[in-house]
Structure 1
Amino acid sequence: MASLPPSDEATLTHVQSVLQTRTLSSPIYAFILTPLRITHASRGLIIARLVLAAPHLNASGSLHGGVSATLVDWAGGCAISTWDLRTGTGVSVDINISYLGGAKLGEEIEIEGRADKVGGSLAFTSVGIWKVEDGGRGSAVAVGRHTKFVRGSASKKVEDAVKTAE
């Protein structure tokens, strides 16, 4: 793995807030992401880890493709939110996933979401999912690309939301 920019405490706190908001407002995110933990957050980049449980698996006992797609959706959106600490993560326009390997019950996976470009209307992200092996990134499980529509409420900044809440 290439050298990462340092994790930014404000961005990490922001991403944890986005995770909490999403899991409270979306039953599917709550179901899939509740045991997930964020390990890195900086502008345009998030990394998280998840230990796989039975609900994450398909009938063959490997990471379910729908769970992988949900992880690509979530991680791409979270990476967008780090761009300028947006409260919104955009609306999916296009998602593509290539399945490269499997991961089994009890194995830990690492998810990396990158905001490749965030424009006025669209944001483009790339997401990778790897097995964690010997404490580090191991074999690839899936890679995805995700495009999101971000104009409008998705571009509202955290500072504005905090002011409104006060």
Structure 2
Amino acid sequence: MSGAASRVPNIVNYIKNCPGFESILKNIKIISAGNGACVAEYKVEQSATNIVGALHGGFTATLVDAVSGYALHSDEDKITPSVSVDMHMTYMKAAKLGEEIVIDAKTMKAGKNLAYLKVEIKNKETGDLLVQGLHTKFILSGKK
């Protein structure tokens, strides 16, 4: 199994066993991960919708945060803890209950201290761009 392919079970196992906040992502499906990128899919469930039946913006931000983190950590050179510095979301179209979405995260640049990631969330059926997220992460070096 290649390094990139071996990352998918690791990410899936992490989500499945996460006792914290990320446990809300238990139903996302990791399609691929490696070389600084990660693609996931999710079918919008009732528990992730807002009052008008669309995918909740907070849940969407969590998808951007988490999947971009998986993308960063799929790169063998960046398997170190990181924390968010900045996130910017642009919401263009809503995903509705029952629709399937694709979350495509890419590491744009990763340096010694900061990583810059881009995420696009699209409707799986139509390909419409729903959300674009930009995420900056601080890479923890283990130093105090």
- TM-score, structure 1 as length reference: 0.78
Q: Distance in 2 between matches of 1:95 and 1:66?
A: 12
Q: For 2:49, which of 44, 47, 57 is the aligned residue?
A: 57
Mapping 1:4-153, distance limit 5 Å: 9-31=2-24, 33-84=25-76, 86-133=78-125, 138-153=127-142
Give structure 1 stretches of 5+ with no counterpart.
Answer: 1-7, 154-166
User: Superposition RMSD on alpha carbons, in Å?
Assistant: 1.9
CA contact (8 A) 1:80 1:89 kept: no
SS of the aligned residue for 1:152 comes to coil
TM-score (norm 2): 0.89
Residue-pair matches, total: 142
Distance in structure 2 (CA, Å) of the matches to 1:15 and 1:146: 21
| Matched-pair contact (CA < 8 Å) for 2:91–2:132 | yes
Does the 8 Å CA contact 2:114/2:138 hold for their aligned counterparts? Answer: yes
- Worse-superposed segment, 76-85 or 89-98: 76-85
Superposed displacement of residue 42, structure 1: 2.8
Shift of the alpha carbon at 1:23?
A: 4.6
CA-CA distance at 1:29 after TM superposition: 1.4
Q: Return structure 1 stretches of 4+ with deviation > 6 angstroms.
A: none
Contact 1:122/1:151, CA 8 A, preserved across alignment = no
Deviation, 1:89, is 4.7
- Decide which structure has greater helix share: 1
Q: Which runs of 5+ in 2 are unaligned?
A: none
